[in-house]
Amino acid sequence: GGALLPRPSAPGRAAMAAEPAMEGRRSPLKTWGSRSLLDPLPGESASAEHERLKACDSGEDNWKKWGPYVSERQWGTCREDYGTNGNSWVYLPFDIAHQVAYRWGEDGIAGLCDEAQTLCLSLAMWNGRDPILKERLFGLGGPQGNHGEDVKEMYYYLDATPTHSYLKMLYKYPQQAFPYDRIRLESAALGTADPEYELMDTGIFDDDRYFDVFIEYARESIDDVYMKVDVHNRGPEEAEFHMVPQAFFRNTWSWEGPGAERPVIERIDGNAVSIKHSKLGQLYFSMEGEAQLLLCDNETNCAALKSDDLRLRPFDFASDAVFWAARSPTLEQPFREYYSVHFRACDPADMASVYAHFYAPGDARGAAFVPAAPAASDGPMYHTTGHIGPGPYKDAFHRYVIKGELAAATASKGTKAGFHAKCSVPAGGCKTFRVRLSTVNIGNTFEDFDDVVSSAKEEGDAFYAALQGDIADDEHRRIQRQALAGMIWTKQFYNFDIYTFFEGDPACPTPPQAARRAIRNSDWDHMQNCDVISMPDKWEFPWYATWDLAFHCLPLALVDSHFAKGQLRLITREWYMHPNGQLPAFEWNFSDVNPPVHAWASWRVFQIDKKKSGGAGDLPFLEEMFHKLVINFTWWVNRKDAEGKNIFQGGFLGLDNIGVFDRGGKLPTGGIISQSDGTSWMGFFSLTLMRMALELAQSNPVYESMAAKFFEHFLHIARAMTRLASSGQGLWDEEDEFYYDVLTLPGGNRVPLKVRSMVGLIPLFAVEVLEPSILEKLPRFADRCEYLLAKRKDLADLVSRFEAPGQGERRLLSLLRGHRMKCLLKRMLDPKEFLSDYGVRALSRYHLEHPYVLECDGNRYEIGYEAAESSVRIMGGNSNWRGPIWFPMNYLIIESLQKFHQYYGQDYCIECPVGSGNQMSILGVADEISNRLTKLFEPTADGKGRPALRLHPKLATDPHFKDYVLFYEHFHGDTGRGVGASHQTGWTGLIAKLIQARGVADASPKKQFQREVSY
């Protein structure tokens, strides 16, 4: 603990004498900035998209009324799980999703809807061979994948404007039967030591027999939506293609009581329908060309759920016998079937253990064992209750296209409409389909269709040309634009009323109470979410995660700071934030604890917005966020400082499996963990609130005392870390020169958990620089600081300062004294430890050959370096913090280094990489890490493609794949290969922010130092 003490004024000089010599030397105070903190952005342009944004921000027009707000997976979510065992993946699984009307939201491919998700548009397809329509993206649920849930499709978000006036995505649809069963079974046979089995691994794309389906949306007015679909046959032969563009109402009427509005879609003619709803008014949905109009109701087909009609199910479980007979002939068939459907794949030894459990000697079930039916207390599936009409039902389009059942073709009205168009696409050829949602139905509604779509794209080009004016590299422009497209496409309407979820709806029987409330979230029944929210990934994580969302808001602020501010404000509203001040984590457990980064994101978005718009910035936003976050800070102090010593716990803190055991649950050893990251995050939180208060104090002196309060709180956290370290009980380990968590056992013994992980680097984040100009403007704050430093020698030693000629005294607040910062950087910049060719690893590579082992009470716990997928199933097993590279942590490292550079200046140099003999300024190190992260997405000179896409050669080198970038959840610690969720543009979208800053610096290095940073 402590802070850097270079060239202090009198109170700190004696302490400095005892510090080890620092490398390099400091420059006099200059206006050194940091690329990220300066937020170099182009001035506002007069493009049409900029004008639409201004109209939205002012409330003049709501261009964001329609957007890509439809989830890619509503099945398997907690909000659709009305069972009593907590297994959301099994209650409403993929294989019945096309027959069940959802309670809380909708899903679909290329989905578009209004901001209340009253009406949705999406695209369904059929290749003439699949057992069901391709209506939603397929993937494995958590119990089915060897690394948890995972989407098994190929699709890309290619372009988007922030008002959604233009959107474009690509879906790659195989011409052969989609390998649903093969993916399910192969994944079940794999262990946690194996990589995931992906769609590309099936070989279905090897001979290019697939369709590239490009979907574009364009609007020339708020309620006029043009949908263009181009279908390219990449294969060597002519191929059959069926398309069903759909418009459907989200089902609200089945659940509500008498008087609930039941909207209606009615047939006008063969190519158009009338859509009526009290909130949307009169709309028309039409398609150009020859097509069969289909109508049905978006309601559950209860009869189909009770039947064995496997021709309308994606899985053929009868094939399991052949598969398992070849793979595991010694296992009895009923178990093999149950395992492949329900259990998370695991190592062979684990599988044998599970098998032994079901077939233990004397077990009456024996070979006759079958999966247990839902508990009687569950009652009927909730989605089959309520008001359900005579049909045809939700799956009627499947039944018409695949089975030839005519009910959908003859219905005159419903709540779901579609147009079935069939064509043959020649080899190498393309077919185009045009669909429109409009307020008018007069004349030729498709006459200017292509002009409207082209114009919308050109307006998007003009918008991004203004943003990317300083980015000279074409690849960087491509990467940034696709990253921002992903950020915009992954907005999602999220609807979840916890009280109603537990109590039930007026039209439905009361669901089980005690058992369901015991599972999760029962103390969050104040929560009423019904908003458009930025999601981490609309398939793998189709629910918001608050700490992810904080990082999302920085790249979003590049294109739409109003939306970014709204997202941050939303999570602190009283119908989200718990009455005790906790921010919700995510729907699997809103009470989980995430790192407190919301204040940092609020401050950073305020800065970005201020530099874009000029003036004093949006002070009402900053003030509102400050007050709400003070409440959250108080919750942290009261709930996560178990010993009252300013040393914090927190649990897993977003780093799922980074500990030697699960930090988020009850510790197997008992006791508590004093967390290096928890304590550091609170130092970081304190400094950010101090900085927010200082900004507000410049227009309202009341906030000076609040700034002083958080200044003092930070000093006490720093002192606590110092005291604990000096007692020889952690958190700083003098021998290893690294920060570790400390396990306090029930008997009081303290055990340092000597894992070299990102946990030990997080103390770098708690850093802030006070400029002399701030102290001059705020004398009450300055006086309080001087009083504390004069009165409390132990606290004065925690503040670094030095005099700059003609500028006054600049001060550095940090948890790290000079020696400790140098030690952490030495480890972090060592390729044998943290520094990869592609960024900073989450766990040191040292643990590859030296795994950490803890033995306690006869039990053995071990953690080693795993560069890609995780071999343990902590927090579901689909994320791995034991070696891969994660963007949010790397981004915070870069910003922290930039702040240190602001204090030390250009003349202070360190070796990077360690062992290279190459000396860099701290800013140079920040740039080096930024460049390494960017390399993940850049094509390489050796022709092997972008490192992130090297999961399969076709992804990296094929001309129809290689320029479409996937923004993975995390990346292989050695090779850079993408790992985890493949479309988590979310916080990986931070690459757009790094490219923006790098582009400005490359265009004119002087630009980044032209404006003094105000702290």
Of 878, 932, 925, residue with least CA distance to 344: 878
Structure confidence at residue 44 (pLDDT) = 52
State the SS3 of 553-619: HHHHHHHCHHHHHHHHHHHCCCCCCCCCCCCCCECCECCCCCCCCHHHHHHHHHHHHHHHHCCCCCH
Confidence of residue 789 (pLDDT cuts 50, 70, 90): confident
Is residue 669 within 8 A of residue 616, CB to CB? The reply is no
The residues, any chain, with a CB within 8 Å of residue 447's CB and separated by 6 or more, are none
Report whether 413 contacts 419 (CB < 8 A): no
The amino acid at 920: M
Percent of the chain with pLDDT over 90: 65
Pairwise CA distance, residues 764 & 472, whole Å: 32
Cα 917 from chain centroid (whole Å): 38
User: Which two three-digit tokens encode residue 757?
Assistant: 């992980």
CB atoms within 10 A of CB 726: 11
Q: Where are the alpha helices (DSSP H) in 92-249?
A: 180-189
Round to whole Å and give the CA distance between 364 and 358.
10
Q: Locate 142 and state its tokens.
A: 């958590």
Nearest partner of 297 among 417, 123, 122, judged by Cα: 417
| DSSP strand pairing (970-971 vs 528-534) | unpaired
Task: Give kind and range of the element (H or E) at residue 284.
Answer: strand 281-287
Stronger pLDDT, 418 or 997, i.e. the higher one: 418
DSSP label at 954?
A: H
Least confident of 100-114, 386-400, 663-677, 914-928: 663-677
According to DSSP, the residues that pair with 237 across neighbouring strands are: none
- Residue 147 CA to residue 346 CA, distance in Å, equals 9
Which pLDDT score is estimated for 677? 75
Extract the tokens encoding 562: 């109003």
Query: How many CB atoms neighbour CB 611 within 10 A?
Result: 15
Q: Based on the number of CB atoms within 10 Å of its own CB, is 237 exposed (0-12), middle (13-18) or buried (19 or more)?
A: exposed
Dihedral sign of CA atoms 393, 398, 404, 406 in order: positive
> The tokens of 980 are what?
């985890």
In 504-545, alpha helices (H): 514-517
Distances (CA, A) of 826 to 34, 560, 865: 21, 38, 19
For residue 1012, the model assigns a pLDDT of 31
Tokens linked to 332 = 């009895």
255: left (phi over 0), alpha (psi -120 to 50) or beta: alpha
Cα(847)–Cα(826) distance, integer angstroms: 17
- Using CA atoms of 693, 696, 700, 704 in order, give the dihedral in degrees to the nearest 10: 20
Under 8 Å between Cβ of 276 and 263: yes
Contact 431, 291 (CB under 8 A): no
CA nearest neighbour of 675 among 578, 755, 588: 755
Pick 469 or 194 by higher pLDDT: 469
Which of these, 163, 282, 158, 283, lies nearest to 219 by C-alpha position?
A: 163
Which region among 664-673, 715-724, 809-818, 933-942 has the lowest average model confidence (pLDDT)? 664-673
Other beta carbons within 10 Å of 202: 17
Cβ atoms within 10 Å of 858's Cβ, excluding its own? 5
Please say whether the beta carbons of 246 and 113 come within 8 A: no
- Measured in whole angstroms, how far is the alpha carbon of residue 424 from the centre of its chain? 39
pLDDT at 358: 41
Q: Which one is predicted more confidently, 719 or 429?
A: 429
b/e code 369-407 from CB counts within 10 Å (16+ = b): eeeeeeeeebbebbbbbbbbeebbbbbbbbbbbbeeeee
pLDDT higher than 90, residue 482 = yes
CA dist 435 and 419 (Å) reads 9
For residue 17 the two structure tokens come to 């004498």
Closest CA to 474 of 937, 101, 989, 822: 937
What is the per-residue pLDDT for 734? 87
Task: Determine the pLDDT at residue 877.
Answer: 60
pLDDT in tens, 81-136: 999 888 888 899 999 999 999 999 999 999 999 999 999 999 999 999 999 999 99
Distance in angstroms (rounded) separating the CA atoms of residues 443 and 708: 68
What confidence score (pLDDT) does residue 31 get?
31
Q: What is the pLDDT of residues 18-70, one digit of tens each?
A: 333 333 333 333 333 333 444 555 445 679 999 999 999 999 999 999 999 99
The three-class DSSP label of residue 63 is helix
Q: What is the mean pLDDT of the chain?
A: 86
Residue 903 vs residue 213, higher pLDDT: 213
Contacts of residue 221, defined as CB under 8 A and 6 or more positions apart, other chains included, come to none
Could you tell me if 155 and 110 are in contact, meaning their C-beta atoms sit under 8 angstroms apart?
no
3-state SS class at 541: strand
Residue ranges of the alpha helices (H) in 67-179?
88-91
For residue 651, what pLDDT band results from cuts at 50, 70 and 90? low
Amino acid at 505: D
Q: How many whole angstroms separate alpha carbon 185 and alpha carbon 180? A: 9
Is-contact 594 585, C-beta < 8 A?
A: yes
Per-residue pLDDT band for 802 (boundaries 50, 70, 90) equals low
Residue 371 has pLDDT above 50, yes or no: no
Residue 619 pLDDT? 98
Nearest residue to 1008 via CA among 9, 14, 34: 34
Q: Which whole number is the average pLDDT over 491-514? A: 96
pLDDT digits (tens, 9 = 90+) for 837-881: 999 999 999 999 999 998 887 888 888 999 988 877 665 566 787
Of 12, 1, 101, 7, nearest to 799 (Cα)?
Answer: 12
Q: So what's the pLDDT on residue 111?
A: 98
pLDDT tens for each residue of 307-362 = 766 568 898 877 777 777 777 655 554 444 444 444 433 334 444 444 444 444 43
Cβ contacts of residue 274 below 8 Å, gap of 6+? 265, 266, 268, 282, 283, 284, 441
Provide the 3-class DSSP secondary structure of residue 273: strand
Confidence category of residue 517, pLDDT binned at 50, 70, 90? very high
Output the six-digit token pair for 499: 């009280």
Express the helix, strand and coil content of the chain in percent, nearest 5 each: 35, 20, 45
**Phi and psi angles of residue 411, each rounded to the nearest 5 degrees, phi first:** -65, 145
* Tokens encoding 582: 């906790």
Where do runs of H (alpha helix) occur along 778-854? Answer: 779-791, 793-796, 818-828, 846-849
Provide the sign of the torsion angle of the four alpha carbons 607, 611, 615, 617, taken in this order: negative
Give SS3 for 629.
Answer: helix
Say which amino acid occupies 201. D
Asked if 547 contacts 595 with a C-beta cutoff of 8 angstroms, the reply is yes
How far apart are alpha carbons 375 and 394 in whole angstroms?
A: 27
913-934 per-position pLDDT tens digit: 999 999 999 999 999 999 999 9
Question: Which pLDDT value is given to residue 648?
Answer: 61
Residue 375's pLDDT band (boundaries 50, 70, 90)?
Answer: low
The answer to whether residue 563 scores a pLDDT higher than 90 is yes
pLDDT for position 250: 98
Give me 894's structure tokens: 């870069």
* 3-state secondary structure at position 241: strand
Spatial separation of the C-alpha atoms in residues 821 and 814, rounded to whole Å: 9
pLDDT at residue 327 in the model:
72
Q: Which of 19-33, 389-403, 745-759, 773-787 tops mean pLDDT?
A: 389-403
pLDDT at position 23: 35
Tally helices (H) and strands (E) across the chain. Answer: 31, 35
